[in-house]
């Protein structure tokens, strides 16, 4: 499994989840996007349909600060292989329970889970104490997205917003 980190040096080096993935040998640095590029601006959702690209070329995450990045910034990384994640909630202490505001590690881990690489996904999460929190918070969603095609994932995501609160 080829995992790449596009490091932009915006985060505190001690808190950078991208750097930690590299330090522990799970990922390598790259200056340009390779394979599937996780990008929150993409209209395409990551799905099992991307498995061949990931197997052949890998997956890249842009390791930047949510506070310093805007739409113009992410637009620089748009390509035909850009993908966004479906609805998931951050488990990290900085953005805890915020939808879509995942750390680089959470984004890669979730992508791998959706692509059926569950073992490596969980190994990545084990690098942080809050990794279990992310998994527990999103277990049901991750399982429902796992191995699904993009149209199915979009329907699952939409249905989450349609659910009526239980009384």
pLDDT tens column, 11-47 = 677 889 999 999 999 999 998 889 999 988 888 999 9
Mean of pLDDT over the chain: 90
- Binding-site residues: 17, 62, 85, 100, 104
Spatial separation of the C-alpha atoms in residues 26 and 120, rounded to whole Å: 9
Closest among 96, 166, 153 to 129, alpha carbons compared: 96
Residue 139 included in any domain: yes
The residue segments making up the domain with residue 133 are 3-162
- Binding-site residues for S-adenosyl-L-methionine: 17, 62, 85, 100, 104
Give the chain's domain count. Answer: 1
Residue 25 included in any domain: yes
Name the token pair of 115. Answer: 């692509």
Q: Identify the helix (H) or strand (E) that includes residue 83.
A: strand 82-83
Residue 157 included in any domain: yes
Residue 167 included in any domain: no
pLDDT value of residue 136: 98
Name the token pair of 69. Answer: 């990045």
């Amino acid at each position: 499994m080829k995992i790449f980190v596009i490091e932009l040096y915006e985060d505190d080096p001690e808190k950078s989840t991208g750097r930690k993935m590299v330090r522990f040998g799970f990922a390598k640095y790259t200056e340009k996007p390779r394979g599937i590029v996780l990008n929150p601006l993409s209209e395409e959702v990551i799905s099992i349909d991307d498995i061949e690209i990931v197997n052949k070329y890998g997956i890249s995450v842009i390791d930047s600060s949510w506070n310093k990045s805007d739409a113009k910034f992410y637009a620089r990384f748009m390509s035909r292989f850009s993908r966004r994640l479906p609805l998931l909630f951050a488990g990290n202490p900085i953005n805890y329970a915020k939808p879509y505001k995942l750390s680089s590690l959470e984004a890669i881990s979730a992508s791998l889970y959706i692509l059926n690489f569950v073992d490596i996904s969980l190994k990545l999460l084990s690098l942080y104490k809050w990794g279990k929190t992310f998994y527990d918070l999103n277990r049901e969603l991750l399982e429902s997205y796992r191995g699904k095609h993009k149209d199915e994932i979009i329907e699952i995501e939409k249905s989450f917003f349609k659910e009526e609160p239980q009384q």
